[in-house]
Amino acid sequence: MTRVGKRILNIGMIGRGFMGRAHSNAYRQVSQFFELDHRPCLQAICARDPEKARVFADKWGYQSVEDDWRRLIERKDIDLIDICTPNNTHFEIAVAAAQAGKIVLCEKPLAMNAGEARRMAQAVQEAKVPNLVWFNYRRVPAVVLSRRIIDEGLIGRVFHYRATFLQDWTISADVPMGGDALWRLDKDAAGSGVSGDLITHNIDTALYLNGPIDSVCAMVDTFVKERPLQSDPSRTEQVRIDDACAFLARFANGSTGTFEATRYARGHKARKTLEINGELGSLWWDLEDLHQLHYFSHRDPASLRGWRTILVTNPEHPYMANWWVPGCNIGYEHTFIHTLADFLKGLETGEAVHPTFADALQTQIVHDAVLRSAVQKTWAQSSESSGLTL
Ligand code: SOE
């Protein structure tokens, strides 16, 4: 306990890359902006290169450094393990952490495939440890507001769900693959390409807003067939990840969906969009302009009907009362702070905070179906029951 009576939650962070930074920032900020019983303490950072780990520890305020995640998990002074390493390491670390009785948080996608994800979800369920996957876009205020609008019946029966995630950073054939940051281009480390890295975000957002996806029909493509290796730029190897992925979906609620993700959409950096068309209205949102939610209501008087743009910064809007004054925006990093704030609240109430590992398993099941469908060139079922409590 601290002097002000907060329960200290000792964090053991594994990974010091982009996500290690995004999560560390959330641990440092959350207590300043949200009233919570728990106060995170940055107890240890773990990374393979001890020197780089020390530099990271100094910058972010971690108390100690480890270079072996197994040792970190054995430590009695660690309550929570946060996994921010490449996808091919999530399974082993998460299962070991759960078996050691630690709270486990994992960066997305949860696993390399649904088989791994299922065993991870079982491990946290058997160990009865709180768990969460950092699909952070569920916590954009405008996305949460969309869910409220849908739940209040304001757009009525949904006909269409449309999602994109467009980037352009791998168009040059000179971009190397493998190693720091660029492991996302290496199939052995990432498992897949944009389908795992970007479309899983959109699947998670869709499951949150529009419910389960029953079946999918997909295609994938790889435009740059060979790339130099980051570890040895004089060598090139075959690219085995998907550069672009698109699929049609049938949702359990009867609506149809289209999903597209690519790293070859010149001019787009992180254009994650969603559009939902219902009988009574529609919603449209874009991550690159994350405070603006576009809403059309067919119930408006005919002469006034038109798309309205809601600036989602009022205290009445999700999370915004915790920040500044209306009109003063927040950004990408806040979605991680919101995720953590909700998770810490869940520790107080004992209620699961979503997406849990079991929720992320559902996303992984859809993702597996997408890849299966693309290979088999046919529709694939994506609604297999996980048999786990969500
Ligand atoms: C890839 O460029 C990436 O950083 C993803 O790995 C993140 O999950 C996404 O939120 C932004 O893009």
In the chain, what are the domains? 2-136 (3.40.50.720), 140-376 (3.30.360.10)
Q: Give the pLDDT mean for 79-91.
A: 98
Atom 8 of ligand 1: nearest residue by CA position: 197
Alpha-carbon gap, residue 130 to 106, rounded angstroms: 11
- pLDDT computed for residue 385 by the predictor: 58
Q: What angle do CA 77, 82, 88 make, to 5 degrees?
A: 130
102-144 confidence digits (pLDDT tens): 999 999 999 999 999 999 999 999 999 999 999 999 999 999 9
Under 8 Å between Cβ of 226 and 236: yes
Q: Is the pLDDT of residue 3 over 70?
A: no
CA dihedral of residues 84, 88, 92, 98 (deg, nearest 10): 40
Atom of ligand 1 nearest to the CA of 108: 8
Which region among 24-38, 83-97, 197-211, 375-389 has the lowest average model confidence (pLDDT)? Answer: 375-389
- pLDDT computed for residue 387 by the predictor: 54
Of 244, 274, 247, nearest in space to 262 by CA: 244
Atom 10 of ligand 1: nearest residue by CA position: 198
| Average pLDDT value over all residues in the chain | 96
Alpha-carbon gap, residue 79 to 72, rounded angstroms: 10
CB of 270 within 6 A of ligand 1: the answer is yes
In this prediction, what percent of the chain has a pLDDT beyond 90? Answer: 96
268-278 confidence digits (pLDDT tens): 999 999 999 99
Alpha-carbon gap, residue 385 to 75, rounded angstroms: 36
- pLDDT computed for residue 388 by the predictor: 54
Which distant-in-sequence residues (6+ apart) come within 8 Å of 343 by Cβ?
A: 105, 130, 132, 353
Alpha-carbon gap, residue 139 to 133, rounded angstroms: 12
CB of 342 within 6 A of ligand 1: the answer is no
Sign of torsion over alpha carbons 351, 69, 191, 179: positive
CB of 197 within 6 A of ligand 1: the answer is yes
- pLDDT computed for residue 342 by the predictor: 98
CA of 185 to the centre of ligand 1 (A): 12
345-381 confidence digits (pLDDT tens): 999 999 999 999 999 999 999 999 999 999 999 999 9
Query: How many C-beta atoms lie closer than 10 Å to residue 338's C-beta?
Result: 23
pLDDT band at 153 (very low <50, low <70, confident <90, very high): very high
Distances (CA, A) of 113 to 29, 143, 325: 33, 27, 43
Q: Give the pLDDT mean for 194-217.
A: 98
Query: How many C-beta atoms lie closer than 10 Å to residue 212's C-beta?
Result: 15
pLDDT band at 390 (very low <50, low <70, confident <90, very high): very low
Sequential DSSP letters for 202-233: HHHHHHHHH--EEEEEEEEE-S--EEEBSS-T
CA of 19 to the centre of ligand 1 (A): 9
Atom 9 of ligand 1: nearest residue by CA position: 198
6-22 confidence digits (pLDDT tens): 899 999 999 999 999 99
CA of 239 to the centre of ligand 1 (A): 19
Atom of ligand 1 nearest to the CA of 107: 8
CB of 204 within 6 A of ligand 1: the answer is no
Q: Is the pLDDT of residue 2 over 70?
A: no
CB of 175 within 6 A of ligand 1: the answer is no
- Hey, which of 106, 139, 198 would you mutate to test ligand 1's pocket, going by the most ligand atoms within 8 Å of its Cβ? 198
Atom 5 of ligand 1: nearest residue by CA position: 197
Atom 1 of ligand 1: nearest residue by CA position: 197
260-312 confidence digits (pLDDT tens): 999 999 999 999 999 999 999 999 999 999 999 999 999 999 999 999 999 99
